[in-house]
Amino acid sequence: MRITIVGCGSIGSKLAKAADEMSEVKRIYLMDKRKEVAEGVAAGLNKAIVISSVEEELYHSDLVIEAASQEAAKEILPKVVARGVDIMIMSVGSLVDDDFRKMIFDKARVSEAKVYIPTGALCGVDGLQSASVDEIDEVELITMKGPKSLLGVEYMMSKGIDVEKITERTVIYSGYAREAVKLFPRNINVAATVSLMGIGFDKTKVVVVVDPEIKSNSHELKVRGRFGEMNCHTYNYPEPDNPRTSHLATLSAIAALKRIVRNEWFGI
């Protein structure tokens, strides 16, 4: 298998390293808007080369992994699925627009491209997906983060909120997933995943809490429906090189890649 990784930041670089150690992966194409970052990652691998655009080796790729941003995902998704190439999406918030999402999945069906979305930094989505086969009454996601993970977020600055001055547990957002994934594009992709696997962006409740005392980010998923009730609480340690990213999100992506390249589908 030959894979292309778009985005060589915290998750992308670790995915590349994991892929480099998989015997099933023969070639890794790396791309980043900062070419020197991609080159730095490639220098430590055996199978990787740097490319300038996703189309450059698209005919040779079996799988493209987007690990960059919502903006990058919106740009490359149509090109990849139109060619019939499988894609793994990390910036799931890019699918919040209904027309765009429909276009991507319609193109994928026609071209027979597969679209993979890892579970990310959240447990319980397997139960949510099963429950969604029948009627679900309510889905709520409560995300708790330390101040550092929300530094530089435009929404916070527009509200005049200095996260470094928050001294006690504070709710900074309460609403629905459609708005939440737009306001926190790099912080709450799990809300998009939950929405897609459950009752949609307009019915999935989202609460974002800042707590200066916590040592780890957490996600609490509450689901109530005909199946019964479910409450799953995940406490995540952040990646050392990126406090905005939970280590479990990286592990989820690597686990998904292993399943794809080995064609092993346990627990689907």
Q: Are 65 and 12 in contact (CB under 8 A)?
A: yes
How many angstroms from the chain centroid is the CA of residue 87? 12
DSSP state of 214: -
Strand order from edge to edge, sheet including 170-176: 170-176, 205-210, 136-145, 217-225, 228-236
Q: How far is CA 106 from CA 13, 110, 112, 178, in A?
A: 30, 6, 10, 21
Question: Structure tokens of 236?
Answer: 């995540």
Question: Structure tokens of 137?
Answer: 């009454």
Question: E strands of 36-89, at which residues?
Answer: 48-50, 63-66, 86-89
Q: Is 247 a catalytic residue?
A: no
Q: What is the β-pairing status of strands 27-31 and 228-236?
A: unpaired
CA dist., res. 121 & res. 127, Å (int): 15
Burial class (CB in 10 A: 0-12, 13-18, 19+), 53: exposed
Question: Could you list the active site residues?
Answer: 219
